[in-house]
Structure formats: structure tokens, C-alpha cells
A = this chain, B = another copy of it.
Amino acid sequence: MRQVKVFLNEDEIPRKWYNIMADLPTPMSPPLHPGTGQPLKPEDMAQIFPMNLIEQEMSPERWIDIPEEVLEKLLLWRPSPLCRAYNFEKALNAPVKIYYKHEGTSPAGSHKPNTAVAQAYYNKEFGIKKISTETGAGQWGSALSMACNMFGIECRVFMVRVSFDQKPYRRLMMQTWGAECFSSPSSQTEVGKKILAENPDSPGSLGIAISEAIEDIMGKEDARYSLGSVLNHVLLHQTIIGLEAQQQLGKIGEYPDVVIGCAGGGSNFAGLSLPFVRDKINGKEIAIVAAEPTSCPSLTRAPFGYDFGDLAQTTPLLAMHTLGHDFVPAPIHAGGLRYHGMAPIVSHLVKERLVEARSYHQIETFDAGIKWARTEGFIPAPETSHAIAAVVEEARRAKEEGKEKVILFNWSGHGLVDLLSYDAYFSGKLTNYTLPDEEIDRAKKLVAQFPSP
């Protein structure tokens, strides 16, 4: 009988995260203090993040120990299975082997808890009793709620009002895990109150929600903010995905020709791919592909430069591919990919041509996701379907070239709580969006105001 899944035993789970900082052929441009324009010092972030996570954010060490307490929680669902998609391969009728890392097996249904658990732990260690964060569709808010609950930390989530009203399921996950979830703009903060006073019907935005979450913790000794993607330490925590995958492939004597992940802020893509980028730096021949939406093409079309991570300009200036911190992406259903910027690490790797970026239209991603559900069973999240669309393209290329290929991709999460987006697809309501060139020009002008990386 053919082998479908490769399990790792629990005692084979990676004990260290991989930090690509130690292996980059060229150094990254450091984050800058927006006031002074100088490289950021650890103490500049001390009000927002606990110092142990700030140290991790800036660490040059190649391997960083995963604390036992974190491993213990990760073991509730990790190591995640590596699976071979025989049925999908057959449907594509191309000379490819397709392996996927199944991150949908976590309690929240995505890869997000990998970093949520680690962040909650480090905050706890640092004496933090309350964490605030923002969430759009709720993937990150729900993952952090679960993690905070595990470590006895109070969790407050500011959820963009339009999602809060229209998507009750992830809000209910947060509540089930004991967090408080506020419709943002809320009356919990000054910024929220001000916006509500001006416009009681404000639908909210991620920018507003970030501002609320940060205001909510500022000046409080035992409260901090938490971010679910983009930053170095978040990507670091996700490398357990790729490290497990390398062990699992090793067990069956395989190595991928192509590694694929979808990229919004960059964390699931980096989580799978960074250990393979290391191999590439060390001479391995391997293609590493980030798949993003055509409607929000930070990697494929936007300039590389310094920009803020948020609308309210509260973050440091980060060197990254960015559509501009005030960019409003089209309302595609892959909420997790609707981010104006891209993780500095991923941006740097694209700039250095270690990673290749491609973009996909919304409808072709749903085509790919439904083909997947109808062959492999599991229903992917709309974000994950971008990676699947890239797999379909790779398979087609392999067929055209008559070349056998081994493809590995990150199945970052299931779509059971996103099924209304499938409804939109079936009822013909989905649209493709292509960004006009003027938007790119606008982004170029915006980053030109800041120092050049």
C-alpha cells in the first residue's frame, strides 16, 4: 500500500528554531526609528514588546532553543503530518510528486498557533499579564486567544468591525478560549472613541485596530502588544514547519525541486521555506516560490523601501516590499493576504533572488482550492489556495518541459470557517482585481520620502 503520510514521533520534534540571520549572504537593512532615522535600539521597542522577544527579534544566532514549555503545548498537534497528494497529482496528470505540510491540524486550524504559543510563553516569562492585538478575519486573534489562555494571560483582541459583524465564527473561537474580542473602532480606547464620535458607522480597518491595540497597552508595566506575522521573531517561530518537513522528507529519501507557500505578511511562507533557503545559500539547486494575490502584489510589483508596518505609523520603519502603509487592498476573500507590506526577511530574499514571487488571481485560486477539496478531501483556506494555484502552475510547467519534479508546499490552514467565500465562488460573485499602475507609482513616491535602504 502506498504511503500517504509521513509522521514524526514526538521525540523527533525539532528542539531549536532556525534563524536565517546567521546565514544571509548580504546583511539586511535594519529597522529605523521613525523620529531619528537611526537604526532601532532594543529599548525603543520595550514599551510594545517584552525584552526577551525583542532580543530574539535582533538575534544573530543560527539556532535558538525552543523552551520545553512551548514544546509541551505544540505537542497538542505537532509534529504535523507531511502528506503526499496522490489524488491531486493524478488530477493534474503531470510528472510531479506533490508533498504538503498539513498545518490545518492545529486547534485554530492554521499555522498561526506556532508563534502564538511561543509569544504567549515569552510574555508570561517576562511577567506580562495582558496582551492586546488586532485581527482582521480572525485567524491571528483566535490563535493568540488560545495561546494566552494556555499560559493564563489575559487577551484582548480588536477585531475590524466589518469582520466582527459578518464573521462571527472566529470571534466565537476567541470567546471560547476566554479572550475578550472588541468590535473596532471600540469605546475601549481614545482613538476608537474619537473615530466613533466622528463616524458612528465606521466599518473599521486593520490600521485602526492596530492603533487601538497599541494604545490599549501603552504605559502599562504588565501589558504588551503582539503581532502575528512580518517580524523576524514571528518567522523564526514558524521555522518549525520547514525543519519538520526536512526530517520527514529525509525519512523517505526525497528532496524538493520546488518549495511553495502563500505570502501575506510572510510567516507561513517563511516558516516552511527558510530552512530550504539555507540549503540554497549552501549550494543546493532549488526553486523557492512565494504566491501572493494579484490584487495585493507587494512582492511582484511594489517597490522595495522603508515604510511603516501600519496605517497609524506606530511601528518602526521597516525595509520591505510595500504598497504603502495607507494602501487599501481590494476585498478579496483571502483576508490573511491583504497586507500592504511583506516581512523584511522575505522582502530581502526576493531582492537577493533567493526567493521568486508570483501572483495569482482570486478566481484561479478558488479553482485550484476546489480541485484540491475534490481530490484530497481537505477544504483549504482561501490563503492556502494561492499556494495550491502555484502548485498547479508548477505542474503544468513540468509537463510542458517533460521534467519530473518534486514539489513541497505549505497547506497553511483549512477553510471550514471561510466557507462563505466558497458560496461567493459558486454563486458567481467572485471578481478578479488587477492593481492599476498608478497605485504602484503612488507607492514608489511614498517610499521615496523615507531613507533608501
Q: Tell me the A residues contacting B by CB distance below 8 Å.
A: 1-5, 7, 9-11, 68, 71-73, 75-77, 83, 87, 105-107, 109, 113, 146, 149-150, 168-169, 172-173, 175-178, 370, 373-374, 376-379, 416-417, 419-420, 422-423, 426
Q: Would A377 and B5 be within 8 Å (CB), given that A423-B168, A423-B172 are in contact?
A: no
Residues of B within 8 A of A378 (CB): 76, 107
Q: Would A4 and B76 be within 8 Å (CB), given that A177-B374, A178-B374, A379-B173 are in contact?
A: yes
CA distance A150 to B72 in the complex (A): 37
CA distance A443 to B106 in the complex (A): 44
Task: Tell me the dominant secondary structure on chain A's binding face.
Answer: helix
CA distance A220 to B125 in the complex (A): 67
Question: Which of B71, B107, B420 interacts with A379 by CB under 8 Å?
Answer: B107
B75 touches A4 (CB 8 A): yes
Sample 20 A-B pairs with CB under 8 A, ordered by A number: A1-B71, A5-B75, A7-B7, A73-B377, A76-B377, A106-B377, A107-B376, A109-B416, A168-B419, A168-B420, A169-B419, A169-B420, A172-B423, A172-B426, A173-B379, A175-B422, A176-B374, A176-B379, A176-B422, A177-B374
Copies of this chain, count: 2
CA distance A168 to B423 in the complex (A): 9
CB distance from A155 to the nearest CB of B (A): 12
Name the CB-closest residue of B to A85: B76
A416 touches B75 (CB 8 A): no
Residues of B within 8 A of A2 (CB): 72
Name the CB-closest residue of B to A107: B377
B76 touches A420 (CB 8 A): no
A1 touches B72 (CB 8 A): yes
What 5 A-B pairs come out closest when comparing CB atoms?
Answer: A107-B377, A172-B419, A4-B75, A107-B378, A7-B7
Residues of B within 8 A of A9 (CB): 7
CA distance A83 to B10 in the complex (A): 12
Q: Would A176 and B370 be within 8 Å (CB), given that A1-B10, A10-B1, A146-B377 are in contact?
A: yes
Known contacts A4-B75, A87-B150, A177-B373; 5 additional CB pairs below 8 A are A3-B11, A107-B377, A146-B377, A178-B374, A416-B416
A422 touches B172 (CB 8 A): yes
Residues of B within 8 A of A376 (CB): 76, 107
Name the CB-closest residue of B to A75: B4
Residues of B within 8 A of A75 (CB): 1, 4-5
Residues of B within 8 A of A419 (CB): 168-169, 172-173, 176
CA distance A421 to B377 in the complex (A): 26
CA distance A75 to B107 in the complex (A): 21
CA distance A107 to B377 in the complex (A): 6
CA distance A107 to B378 in the complex (A): 5
CA distance A79 to B378 in the complex (A): 16
CA distance A146 to B420 in the complex (A): 18
CB distance from A362 to the nearest CB of B (A): 16
CA distance A370 to B179 in the complex (A): 13
CB distance from A78 to the nearest CB of B (A): 9
Question: Which of B76, B173, B426 interacts with A175 by CB under 8 Å?
Answer: B426
Question: Which of B5, B73, B149, B420 interacts with A172 by CB under 8 Å?
Answer: B420
CA distance A172 to B333 in the complex (A): 15
Question: Which of B1, B107, B172 interacts with A11 by CB under 8 Å?
Answer: B1
Residues of B within 8 A of A77 (CB): 377
Name the CB-closest residue of B to A372: B176
CB distance from A2 to the nearest CB of B (A): 7
CA distance A73 to B2 in the complex (A): 11
Residues of B within 8 A of A72 (CB): 1-2, 4
CA distance A105 to B77 in the complex (A): 10
